[in-house]
Amino acid sequence: MTFLFPSFLWALAVLSVPVIIHLFNFRKTTRVYFSNTRFLKQVKEATTAKRRLKHYLILASRLLFLTLLVIAFCQPIIPAEEQFSSTRNIILYLDNSQSMSALMDDKTRGLDAGISYARSIVEVFPADTRYKLITNDFSPFSNTFKTKPEVLDLLTQIRLSPVSRSLEEVQDRIRQDKGLTNREIFWISDLQKSTLGQVNAAFDTTARMHLLPIQYGQQSNVYVDSAYLENPFFTGGGKNVLHVRMRNDGKMDITQLNLKLTLNNIQAATTSITIPQGGLAEATFDLAASLSGLNEAKISFNDFPVSFDNEFYLALNFTNKINVIEIKNVADRTPIEKVFGNKMIFNFSTYPAGNFSYSRLVDADLVVVNELNLLDLSLTNALRSYLNTYGTLLVIPAIAPEIENLKNFLKLPALKVLGGQTPLAVGRPDFSNPFFENVFEEKSVSLAMPKASKILDWGEDRTAILQFKNDQPFLSRVVQVGQLYLLGCSLDPSQTDFPNHALFVPVMYRIAASGKRNNYKPYYTLQESLVKMHMDSLRGEEPLRWIGAEEIVPAQRTVNDDVIFDIPKFTMQKGFYKVVMLRDTVNLLAFNLDKAESQMGQYRGEELKTILGGGDNITIFQVASSDAFSNEIKERYLGKPLWKYALAMAILFLIVEILLIRFLK
């Protein structure tokens, strides 16, 4: 025990006053005469003994009262367990990610408890202490130290943020104060494993970290793991299916969870799903054939107590068309022109080989080289350049192609031309090949297949999309930076009946879809940095705007016909945003929280301290309420004050003195 104001101990000299009063009785005595002195003497002896005991008790009470009163003024304390830095600068990190909306055992929201802890820290330290408040937003106010009133005001403005931060990110943010030594860091967080990232054991030993874990107890959570369209390049006007994969992060099976699909604010479908503990389950929703344009799709469900991720947003964009270019020698209408003639799905252009502008290759999703006997050098170079910039090329040979020219163009040394081949039947498709995924409603082994006379041979290809029944490739995909599709026969009716077969349309559509250059994504997460959007034409100098719950003008730059946006995640909320050019809506974006935020596994304070190296500079607070935390932090850093107990004891002895005087005869 020590005294904050030991100079008051000089006041103990006042103890001499009651002693002096006790030793010297200044009252005048009165002589009284009695006839029987023997009897009077006996009475006098008994009364004097009792009076002496009473005086001693009163004296002791007075001395103890004065002593304890002086000690109370000296303010005795039990010394603090941890000595606070003399710099009087405190860094407060308050995790305000969405997972902090979960409820603790006392039904208090995690963020509310964290704010209460931060307020207790600010209120307990001396008035000259300065504070730096850091949240996941890395807001401008966290750049400088604030006074006590300023920080208390900032704490009233803290809201949940869609952004989560790793341990390393927050540490880097704290290290920006290079001139600050002996940092006192109070880390208020739920210590979520999925977002804390790679924990570095080499924690800064010049700083002292005080962990305040927000513990939720046993939490379970269900969330959308992923969602995708069965046909991702669907443009409307046909059947499509939305697949939703749900994950159960808890340790109990979830049975009959009701999922609801809302399209453009109208409930479209519902389904029930059972998800095993720690596992996945998939639900499907059939989409109406009438869907077209931009559509807002929302998956929603009820999952308590963790509810911040009970809605999932998808933007279904059925406006983008696939750009297909055909290069040919004949003037007649070809099977390629017929299959890609659907103007709702394709922007199709056909050109003769001698009258083709190579600049059009930039916008092409698929280029079809259809039955060219000979390619000149400039066209060869242009097509190779297109292929080397991740383009997609389909080569259909002529009946009698020039082999050396074709070898030079395709870069296939083993390529050779076959002539006069007897038509062979094409083998049944490999239904397990991802190329044919969701193409066939029924996987029938008795499917009738087309026949073809083989013109080109490029050797054995076990990964061929289609093969003849003798295992020779009929249609192959060769990756040469971009995608090269090579057909083994001409589409001339004398060579094959493939263009008239039911398989022709889905195969051509799938080839075109695989080359779609505008990688449209049905949703983004707020942890991503960029959105790339292809625009056919940009009008005016006005930047594109995102209009959702609020209007945002993100940082953007244009590269050719692509617009690259920086996602302003600190100013956004999950949901839908329309991309507006001048007054026209040109696209729709959907943003969701990162699914890592939905994984509720937590580090315990001791566990994280061990991972960080277990040094003496890391301390842990284990508290159940803000009041208990306030008392604990006072004891740790300010010591335990005892003046209240001394004052209470002084009052007690004063009462004892009064009782002795009043009742002890």
pLDDT tens by residue, 282-326:
999 998 877 778 899 999 999 988 889 999 999 988 766 788 999
**352 and 476 together in one domain:** yes
Whether residue 465 is contained in a domain is answered as yes
Whether residue 29 is contained in a domain is answered as yes
Residue ranges of the chain with per-residue pLDDT less than 70? 4, 25-30, 32-50, 79-87, 178-182, 201-204, 231-238, 319-320, 437-446, 517-519, 536-537, 560-561, 624-626, 637-639, 665
* Closest to 475 in 3D by CA, of 589, 395, 358: 395
**424 and 475 together in one domain:** yes
Distance of CA 168 to the CA centre of its chain: 15
pLDDT, position 85: 55
pLDDT, position 98: 92
How many CB atoms lie under 10 A from the CB of residue 456?
24
Instruction: Give the three-class secondary structure for 323.
Output: strand
* Closest to 613 in 3D by CA, of 250, 218, 167: 167
**365 and 425 together in one domain:** yes
pLDDT, position 111: 93
pLDDT, position 290: 74
Interhelix angle 37-74/16-23, nearest 10 degrees: 170
SS3 assignment for 221-259: CEEEEEEEECCCCCCCCCCEEEEEEEEECCCCCEEEEEE
Q: Backbone phi, then psi, for 517, in 5-degree steps?
A: -80, -30
Strand segments, DSSP code E, in 110-221 are 130-134, 184-189, 208-213
pLDDT, position 180: 67
* Closest to 496 in 3D by CA, of 447, 455, 465, 453: 453
Whichever domain contains 363, its CATH number is: 3.40.50.880
Q: Backbone phi, then psi, for 660, in 5-degree steps?
A: -65, -45
**153 and 196 together in one domain:** yes
Token pair of 316 as six digits? 């279904």
CA distance 490 to 521: 36
Under 8 Å between Cβ of 566 and 524: no
**587 and 606 together in one domain:** no
Token pair of 253 as six digits? 């099976």
**555 and 655 together in one domain:** no
Whether residue 625 is contained in a domain is answered as yes
Amino acid identity of residue 572, one-letter, is M
Write the CB contacts of 508 (distance below 8 Å, at least 6 apart in sequence): 336, 339, 340
- Tally of structural domains, the chain: 4
How many CB atoms lie under 10 A from the CB of residue 627?
11
Residue with tokens 């039947």, as numbered in its chain: 425
Whether residue 409 is contained in a domain is answered as yes
Whether residue 485 is contained in a domain is answered as yes
Whether residue 74 is contained in a domain is answered as yes
Whether residue 272 is contained in a domain is answered as no
Residue with tokens 């696209």, as numbered in its chain: 587
pLDDT, position 41: 53
**625 and 646 together in one domain:** no
**529 and 582 together in one domain:** yes
Residue 565 lies in domain:
524-592
Looking at 478, 496, 514, which one is the last position of a domain? 514
Distance of CA 664 to the CA centre of its chain: 75
CA distance 23 to 53: 14
Whether residue 284 is contained in a domain is answered as no
**350 and 458 together in one domain:** yes
CA distance 246 to 227: 9
Under 8 Å between Cβ of 273 and 281: yes
Whichever domain contains 111, its CATH number is: 3.40.50.410
Looking at 488, 514, 540, which one is the last position of a domain? 514
DSSP code per residue over 540-592: SSPPPEEESSSEE---EEEETTEEEEE--GGG--SEEEEEEETTEEEEEEEEE
Under 8 Å between Cβ of 196 and 171: no
Task: Look at strands 254-263 and 266-275 and give their pairing.
Answer: antiparallel
pLDDT, position 226: 93
pLDDT, position 11: 83
* Closest to 73 in 3D by CA, of 647, 638, 639: 647
CA distance 498 to 426: 9
Under 8 Å between Cβ of 292 and 261: no
**611 and 651 together in one domain:** no
Looking at 486, 514, 542, which one is the last position of a domain? 514
Under 8 Å between Cβ of 100 and 110: yes
**6 and 114 together in one domain:** no
**539 and 584 together in one domain:** yes
Walk across the sheet containing 640-641 and list its strands: 2-3, 76-78, 640-641
Residues in the chain: 665
H or E stretch covering 480: strand 473-480
Q: What is the Cβ-side half-sphere exposure of residue 472, based on CA atoms within 13 angstroms?
A: 16
CA distance 402 to 406: 6
Number of H helices, E strands in the chain: 13, 34
